[in-house]
Amino acid sequence: MRLTVRVDESGAEGTRLQRVEHEFEGDARDVETAFAHPSPARSPRLLVSVVAVVAAALGGGLITIQARINGQLALELGDGYTAALISFFVGLVVIAVVSAVSAKARRGIRMIPAAVRSGELPWWMLLGGFAGATLVLSQGLAVTLIGVALFTVAIVAGQTIGSLVIDARGMGKVPPKPVTATRVIGTIVVIGSVALSVSPQINAHAPFLVLLMPLIAGCLTGWQQAVNGQVRTTVGSPVTATLVNFIAGTLLLGVVAIVHIALAGPPASLPTNPALYLGGVLGMIFIMVAAVIVPLVGVLLQGLAAVTGQLVAALVIEALFPAPGTTLQLVTIAGTLLTIVGLAISVIPKRAKDAARTDTAKPVAPID
């Protein structure tokens, strides 16, 4: 786009008109650049972040429901390892059916071998499901020793630390996310709020080495979301990324369950209540939503939103369907509300320099 004024005069008057011509050319270039590259400040970044955070929180709420379902399944089976395998396997079957009927997912599956061979998608990024399996195993091994409260705090702390590191460094096609002051403050508020909400249940005499298990599992959960987001970005399908995640997790849990059954024997019978087999479906939805959200807002913000959703859902479930021998305490309600505050702080975007700069017209020298 070029707007000029042709002049033939010479001397002082010609010089003035040439100066006017250069001013018009500069303004025309500015307009062309503005249309070709719109200002980021005018894009609805905050709206996208808010929608993504709400979706992540809803996904986190599903994880709370999943935990209640899987816990009941393990109780009726008398075998937490087999319950974890059943949950993952049901999720795998459902996501496999969804992949079979989705042309985009099938195309994404066909892209994976070439992406791995070319190095665009490192093979170890296909193992994100191992982290989910590790989390389930740590539940079975650590909760009975340190309690649900300390387990929750350790998971949240580990997930937050891992997410901060991954966001700061970036991973593959997912660029680094700025670790702003608001995100750090929001993270501290969330961790403190989780600790406050579960403080009545904390056992101060928990073994330190056992406490490390959920802490490490939490760190791996942040990595899991990052690699699943990388798979989704590479193949263009969150369904494919979720399928890959469930294949890896089911394989690992299958090996562990086989070893456990060989040593302790199989469960006597399977529960007849079909609702107890829905945990894997809820986990599938959570993984799929996270694969979409992580490239948009980063691992840290997705994780904080999911944690908030988990606490809010747990609060609602405890209020409406309390477990035997438990009571809803005010400190739990206060901790949950503070978690929402911490999440809101984390969503506040960084104010970019000159983001709100308004273009003004260049002054044109007067013509005598």
The one-letter amino acid code at 323 reads: A
Whole-number pLDDT of residue 359:
44
Per domain, the residue ranges of the chain are 47-347
Task: Specify whether the CB–CB gap between 104 and 239 falls below 8 A.
Answer: yes
CA–CA gap between residue 31 and residue 34 (Å, rounded): 5
User: Locate tokens 């891992």: which residue?
Assistant: 162
From 60-69, 88-97, 178-187, the region with the lowest mean pLDDT? 178-187
Whole-number pLDDT of residue 330:
78
CA–CA gap between residue 234 and residue 119 (Å, rounded): 11
- Please give the average per-residue pLDDT across 139-161, as a whole number: 70
Could you tell me which residues come within 8 angstroms of residue 162 by beta carbon, excluding any fewer than 6 positions away?
A: 218, 219, 220, 221, 222, 223, 299
As to burial, measured by CB atoms within 10 angstroms (0-12 exposed, 13-18 middle, 19+ buried), residue 50 is: middle
Whole-number pLDDT of residue 177:
73
CA–CA gap between residue 134 and residue 158 (Å, rounded): 13
Residue 87: C-alpha distances to residues 130, 249, 311, 317 (Å)? 14, 10, 22, 21
- pTM of the full structure: 0.71
Q: Calculate what percentage of the chain has a pLDDT beyond 90.
A: 22
**pLDDT tens digits for range 11-48:** 555 555 455 445 545 444 543 444 344 444 444 577 87
What confidence category does residue 293 fall into, taking pLDDT thresholds of 50, 70 and 90? confident
What confidence category does residue 211 fall into, taking pLDDT thresholds of 50, 70 and 90? confident
**pLDDT tens digits for range 34-43:** 434 444 444 4
